[in-house]
Amino acid sequence: MFEGKVILITGGTGSFGRAFAHTLLTQHNPAKVIILSRDELKQYEMAQDFSGHESIRFFLGDVRDKDRLYRAFRGVDVVIHAAALKQVPAAEYNPFEVIKTNIMGAQNIIDAAIDTQVSHVLALSTDKAAAPINLYGATKLCSDKLFIAANAYAGTGRTRFSVVRYGNVLGSRGSVIPFFQEQRKLGFLPVTDPRMTRFWITLQQGMDFVTKSLSRMVGGELFVPKLPSMNIMDLARAMCPECRIETVGIRPGEKLHEIMIPRDEARNTLEYEDHFVITPNFRFFEERYDKSTATPVSEDFEYNSLDNPWKLSIESLREHLEVI
């Protein structure tokens, strides 16, 4: 998939981009890895860490700037779209800024990829895009719809688009774990609601799933991995059993439990051994896609963090935390 290819990662200085670039350069043999992002300081810092790799390039640019994307995508084979504004409170307070990046930026990537003949575009999404209740989730749902529909825009052209949707990345920037690590120094952990559950995935698992999805995609799929869930109180006890717990209430835009596949999507969902695929309503998709190893889910199926049979215990959470 990556041998001799040019791979571009938008938002490439983030947690996923840095780790995925490292994997590409150490475990594969790409012709070039391009990091496209807005922050020159983060690019400088990342360049120091990758100083021994001759195949990495750093492009300053913003997904809001279509002209820059046209320049950056020239000669690119694969685009991993990881750039997004994703902080829920900031999105609620600055809604149109998030729309410009997450929605209009997505359309810019689609147009540039089709016109420059990029082969594969895989966009990273979030469980918050399923039945969204906050602006961030709504913009990511809109972005997902744009990328899936882009396969119709591309027509018989070379470019194919798919989406990967997964849950909270263990220890990523802005996640609860770095916050809890700081709070336990004070001897107490604030918990929004003791009943709250979340899907959980490690950074390595996320990268592995992206790689597998790239090799599987024919264009139009929304890939969802099978992930464990955890209870927020179990996480708090795993991180700091001696800490005092304070319940502070659910913040605006938060859900009590997350959903990855809504019940209304069940009729379009196929189950595989380690993942699900939400299929699009395209005639040409049926001709391209091999469903021979898939099983359709039941009509009342919903994939949510509360009813998920795979739950992480306090001991399992501690094991996961050790690898961060």
State residue 176's pLDDT score.
85
Token pair for 281: 């309503």
C-alpha–C-alpha distance, residues 38 and 87, integer Å: 17
CATH of span 6-167+202-226+260-303: 3.40.50.720
Token pair for 169: 């990345």
Confidence of residue 228 (pLDDT cuts 50, 70, 90): very high
State residue 159's pLDDT score.
97
pLDDT higher than threshold 80 for residue 110? yes
Residue with tokens 């995508």: 73
C-alpha–C-alpha distance, residues 78 and 61, integer Å: 17
Share of the chain above pLDDT 70, in %: 98
52 burial (CB, 10 Å; 0-12 / 13-18 / 19+) is exposed
Strands 188-191 and 259-261, how do they pair?
Answer: unpaired
Residue with tokens 């809109």: 142
Among this protein's residues, is 128 annotated catalytic? yes
State residue 62's pLDDT score.
98
Comparing 23 with 175, which gets the higher pLDDT? 23
pLDDT higher than threshold 70 for residue 51? yes
Confidence of residue 174 (pLDDT cuts 50, 70, 90): low
**Tell me: the pLDDT tens digits for 15-27?**
999 999 999 999 9
**Tell me: the pLDDT tens digits for 257-283?**
999 999 999 999 999 999 999 999 998
Q: Which of 66-75, 210-219, 249-258 has the lowest mean pLDDT?
A: 249-258
The one catalytic residue among 42, 66, 86, 128:
128
State residue 221's pLDDT score.
97
3-state helix, strand, coil in the chain (%, to 5): 40, 20, 35
C-alpha–C-alpha distance, residues 6 and 28, integer Å: 12
State residue 320's pLDDT score.
80
Which whole number is the average pLDDT over 156-176? 86
Comparing 173 with 244, which gets the higher pLDDT? 244
The 3-state DSSP class for residue 33 equals strand
Identity of the amino acid at 321: L
Average per-residue pLDDT for the chain: 94
The 3-class secondary structure across 257-271, one letter per residue, is CCEEECHHHHHHEEE
**Tell me: the pLDDT tens digits for 277-286?**
999 999 889 8
Which whole number is the average pLDDT over 71-95? 95
**Tell me: the pLDDT tens digits for 180-211?**
988 988 998 999 999 999 999 999 999 999 99
